Amino acid sequence: MFEFPIAIGLSPNTQTDDIWQALNALFMPWSWKEGSSVEKAEKWFKDYFGVSDAVSFNSGRSALYALLKIFNIGRGDEVILQAFTCVAVPDPVIWTGAKPIFVDIEETLNIDPGLLEKHINKKTKAIIVQHTFGIPAKIEMIAKIAQKYNLILIEDCAHCIGATYKDKKIGTFGDAAFFSFGRDKVISSVFGGMAIINGKFNPSTSLRTRMENGKLREFQQKLNYPSYFWILQQLLHPIAFAIILPLYNIYLGKLILFLLQKLNLLSFPLFPEEKLGNKPDIFPLKYPNALAQLVLVQLEKLDKYNLFRRETAAYYFRQLKEFPNIQLPARGKGAIYLRFNILIKNAEELLKIARKKGLVLGNWYKNIIDPRGVLYGKIGYKKGSCPSAEKTAGLSVNLPTYPRLTMIDLKRIVDLIPVRHS
């Protein structure tokens, strides 16, 4: 009998209904680019977050880039964001001509509000707040600082669709927010993203942000759709993984994955030029209808997925609380725990031991600005400038919380840790 691997980054959200939707879309190429599903996905976000509009793009970084552009952020400006992140966040800042300014993190693994003001100057135009692993940042403190200095506040909600802070939805605290539908995010359509603007955040900027809503839609309308081949690559992803995953632990699945990527039939989540701060031609583009069809299936399962993630996190908290060598994540009532990140000495050794036992645990963000190979000098990060982020990167191991896990899987993961680290 074939078993699904425990693999945090291998299309973790894909279930049978997602596969059938991808197959259905695959044989209707006339509806790949334009169709009603895009509008339905945008309406879902508009209604869920109570905003006047939600605008879709082909990726989360396209959505961020669009927001930066319509807020007139560009050459000579500075944008504050945290270290311990993916290069997909500072890259759109660089693409506008602005300069990313990296700030260290605090115990929630989010940007440290206490360090913000010393990085603010006349060039500062915006703060991007990442809610890392689905754990909300100290957003109220950050919002007060943004208001004090009349800065645009953009929430990075790539990890936290459905998370709350003091019973208020994450994504509604700032001037704007963007979301990602990447293959290993809260919901997945392989690629995709959404941007919203909130005109209620700051009295001094509310009129301005309401005016930007129309500009955001105008920006999107001027974009092209991705090519048919690019859409094909994304539709093949859930279908291919329906074959790859059951065969992964016997190496045949790994071989199929390697061959499909080598033949360029499956896309990679990041392009090589992004590691250098350069912009691939694929960003920004419109969100194609075929991928919107995939995300609508996922959105129907959002609450169920997040409940599972919270219950899985609660299990980890119970089982791992007695291990003094492990630092557990910050607890948050409204957190959704996209990944359950533990801090442990010899993290690399634990990852290797897990791989030998057939468990592929997560390694966000082992490189301070992920992935491996990012040239820090090209994206403006100075080694040693964010010591907490650098220390955290060296100690981090992500335990999975994705909805396909079973109780047997969870026990295998927990049992793995004290074998060599108790």
pLDDT in tens, 175-185: 999 999 999 99
Residue 317, pLDDT > 90, answer: yes
Contact between residue 169 and residue 49 where contact means Cβ atoms under 8 Å apart: yes
Give the pLDDT band (50/70/90) at residue 210: low
Which residue from 156, 138, 145, 228 is spatially nearest to 195, judged by alpha carbons?
156
Contact between residue 310 and residue 340 where contact means Cβ atoms under 8 Å apart: no
pLDDT for 253-308, tens place per residue?
889 999 999 999 999 999 999 999 999 999 999 999 999 999 999 999 999 999 99
Give the pLDDT band (50/70/90) at residue 417: confident
Cross-strand bridge partners of residue 341: 398
Helix residue ranges per DSSP H, 152-251: 206-221, 228-247
Classify 167 as helix, strand or coil.
Answer: coil
Give the pLDDT band (50/70/90) at residue 367: very high
Residue 173, pLDDT > 90, answer: yes
Per-residue model confidence (pLDDT) at position 257: 92
Residue 205, pLDDT > 70, answer: no
Give the pLDDT band (50/70/90) at residue 203: low
Backbone angles phi, psi at 266, to 5 degrees: -120, 140
Residue 10, pLDDT > 60, answer: yes
Give the pLDDT band (50/70/90) at residue 313: very high
Q: Per residue in 318-333, is it b (16+ CB within 10 Å) or e — as a string?
A: ebbeebeebbebbebe
Measure the CA–CA gap between 362 and 351, rounded to whole angstroms: 8
* Mean pLDDT calculated for residue range 208-226: 85
Measure the CA–CA gap between 358 and 378, rounded to whole angstroms: 36
pLDDT for 109-151, tens place per residue?
999 999 999 999 999 999 999 999 999 999 999 999 999 999 9
Measure the CA–CA gap between 278 and 59, rounded to whole angstroms: 16
∠ CA 228-233-237, rounded to 5°: 145
Q: Which residue has the tokens 């961020």?
A: 64
**Lowest-pLDDT range, 95-99, 116-120, 417-421?**
417-421
Task: Tell me whether the omega of the peptide bond preceding residue 400 falls within 30 degrees of 0, making it cis.
Answer: no
Q: Which amino acid is at 343?
A: L
Per-residue model confidence (pLDDT) at position 326: 93
- Dihedral of the CA atoms 279, 284, 289, 291 (nearest 10)? 40
Residue 356, pLDDT > 90, answer: no
Measure the CA–CA gap between 337 and 96, rounded to whole angstroms: 31
Question: Measured between alpha carbons, how far is residue 413 from residues 115, 149, 253, 331, 343 in Å?
Answer: 36, 46, 21, 20, 15
Per-residue model confidence (pLDDT) at position 7: 85
Q: What domains are there in the chain, each with its CATH number?
A: 24-221 (3.40.640.10), 302-421 (3.90.1150.10)
Which residue from 295, 305, 216 is spatially nearest to 45, judged by alpha carbons?
295
Per-residue model confidence (pLDDT) at position 165: 96
Q: What is the mean pLDDT of the chain?
A: 93
Task: Tell me whether the omega of the peptide bond preceding residue 365 falls within 30 degrees of 0, making it cis.
Answer: yes
